[in-house]
């Protein structure tokens, strides 16, 4: 991005005061990271960003947006663009820049797997096109426009992740990015606190098509009945992927190791490999292959790309432990569907010595939380761990259910403030060749356990 202040003011319908000729080349919300060429965006959530303008000025910011209802506190002798709403103006600027650059936009969402799928798609696309993807998981109303405005001017494909916490989040984000291709990975229970049912979560996810271009394509997981039902009467092109042979693209001959998955498909002669284990990650790769076909990427290039994909940190990954064994770390988010899938993968891996499972509370499940935690008992028992360690008050429901179903399984329960005690307990027990699965919602910060067992 490189705009004059006058151009930005015009694009966001703002009033420019104290103009300067210095171009704007980047955006910042944090005054501490401001520097020459940056436009400070004061967001009014929580701590009002307008209160931190002096820090941005001191660090070299070139200008700032400024809300019209804060004019009594506006800085003097500093370039400002007065707008009605700083967030909407920021999004308006991103939309204008996206239209100017004109890349093919691939929007990715889903209850689980969207970040991994984004990584796979971007790697495939980059074999033929100048490609930009959402960094980390900056997938909300701030991260999406920030990703857009960070695109180089020669970007040909933008792979953008869209998150959803509440109803209508995807409606506004889809209309912001106007995708050429929309991808839905799966429907789980994430954020059911705000949606109440999986069906309503599916309704929310389908909002990704609300901004889809008239000639756009929806690529979705055909193993999910809720998506099949909602896509049945769509008038534009759709493509399905999944593990079932009912899908247009499906996998076969799946073999899993502790760190990789190999598979073939019904449409190509190539055998594919991805640097992640689990059938659910095979499904994510199928979504990416479906997009690659729409982008006309040859199968041999997709094969090479998938095998070499670098996965965003804190997604499901095997890490060498400092105890001589291995850790399957998945500490970014969690919901019942995701836990079941990773337990299946963990149990399928060849046992080298002992297997331990560490599970933390799954957040944002609302009043269904206790029941949904307890519902994992059979899945945990079927995984046949040597012991299980549970963290958080909601996991006590799972502990009680396991005790009723399998009194022989050793269960250790901890509250979040007791994580240091849990770490010491694990360190005292872990042996060479032990394997340990660690999964929880990010709010539990079980990455502390991963760090303690790897450093």
Residues flagged as binding site for ATP: 110-116
13: its two tokens: 């319908």
Terminal C-alpha separation, the chain:
40
Beta-bridge partner residues of 261: 256, 274
Residues 6+ apart with CB under 8 A from 116: 276, 281, 284, 311, 312, 315, 316
Give CA–CA dist 395/74, Å, rounded: 49
Q: What angle do CA 270, 272, 277 make, to 5 degrees?
A: 165
The 3-state secondary structure of 285-326, one letter per residue = HHHHHHHHHHCCCCHHHHHHHHHCCCCCCCCCEEEECCCCCE
Give CA–CA dist 327/350, Å, rounded: 14
Give CA–CA dist 348/345, Å, rounded: 5
Annotated binding site: 110-116
Strand locations in 165-232 (E): 181-184, 217-221
Backbone Cα Rg of the chain = 24
8 A C-beta contact, residue 38 and residue 149 = no
Could you tell me how far CA 120 lies from the centroid of its own chain?
Answer: 13
8 A C-beta contact, residue 8 and residue 80 = no
> In whole angstroms, how far apart are CA 10 and each of 67, 426, 438?
16, 59, 50
8 A C-beta contact, residue 219 and residue 239 = yes
């Amino acid at each position: 991005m490189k705009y004059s202040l006058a151009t930005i003011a015009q694009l966001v319908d703002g009033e420019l005061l104290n103009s300067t000729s210095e171009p704007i080349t980047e955006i910042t919300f944090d005054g501490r990271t401001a520097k020459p060429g940056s436009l400070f965006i004061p967001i009014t959530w929580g701590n009002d960003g307008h209160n931190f303008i002096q820090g941005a000025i001191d660090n070299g910011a070139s200008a700032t947006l400024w809300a019209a209802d804060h004019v009594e506190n506006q800085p003097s002798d500093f370039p400002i663009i007065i707008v009605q709403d700083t967030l909407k103006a920021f999004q308006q600027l991103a939309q204008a820049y996206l239209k100017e650059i004109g890349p093919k936009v691939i929007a990715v969402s889903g209850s689980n797997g969207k970040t991994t799928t984004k990584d796979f798609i971007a790697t495939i696309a980059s074999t033929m096109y100048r490609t930009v993807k959402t960094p980390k998981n900056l997938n909300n109303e701030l991260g999406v426009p920030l990703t857009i405005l960070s695109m180089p001017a020669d970007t040909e494909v933008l792979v953008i992740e869209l998150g959803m916490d509440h109803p209508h989040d995807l409606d506004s984000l889809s209309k912001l990015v106007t995708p050429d291709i929309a991808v839905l990975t799966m429907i789980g229970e994430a954020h059911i606190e705000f949606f109440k049912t999986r069906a309503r979560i599916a309704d929310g996810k389908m909002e990704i098509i609300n901004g889809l271009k008239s000639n756009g394509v929806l690529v979705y997981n055909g193993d999910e009945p809720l998506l099949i039902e909602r896509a049945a009467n769509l008038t534009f092109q759709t493509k399905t992927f999944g593990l079932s042979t009912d899908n247009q693209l499906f996998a076969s001959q799946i073999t899993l190791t502790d760190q990789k998955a190999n598979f073939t498909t019904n449409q190509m002669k190539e055998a594919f490999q991805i640097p992640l284990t689990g059938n659910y990650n095979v499904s994510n790769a199928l979504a990416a292959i479906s997009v690659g076909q729409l982008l006309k990427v040859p199968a041999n290039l997709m094969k090479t790309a998938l095998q070499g994909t670098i996965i965003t940190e804190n997604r499901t990954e095997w890490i060498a432990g400092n105890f001589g064994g291995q850790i399957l770390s998945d500490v970014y988010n969690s919901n019942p569907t995701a836990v079941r899938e990773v337990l299946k993968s963990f149990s399928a891996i060849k046992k080298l010595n002992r297997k331990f499972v560490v599970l933390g509370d799954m957040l944002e499940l609302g009043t269904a939380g206790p029941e949904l935690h307890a519902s994992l008992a059979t899945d945990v028992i079927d995984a046949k761990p040597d012991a299980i360690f549970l963290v958080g008050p909601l996991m006590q429901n799972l502990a009680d259910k396991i005790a009723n179903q399998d009194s022989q399984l050793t269960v250790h329960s901890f509250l979040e403030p007791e994580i240091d005690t849990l770490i010491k307990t694990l360190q005292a027990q872990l042996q060479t060749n032990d394997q340990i699965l660690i999964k929880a919602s990010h709010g539990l910060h079980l990455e502390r356990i991963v760090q303690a067992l790897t450093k």
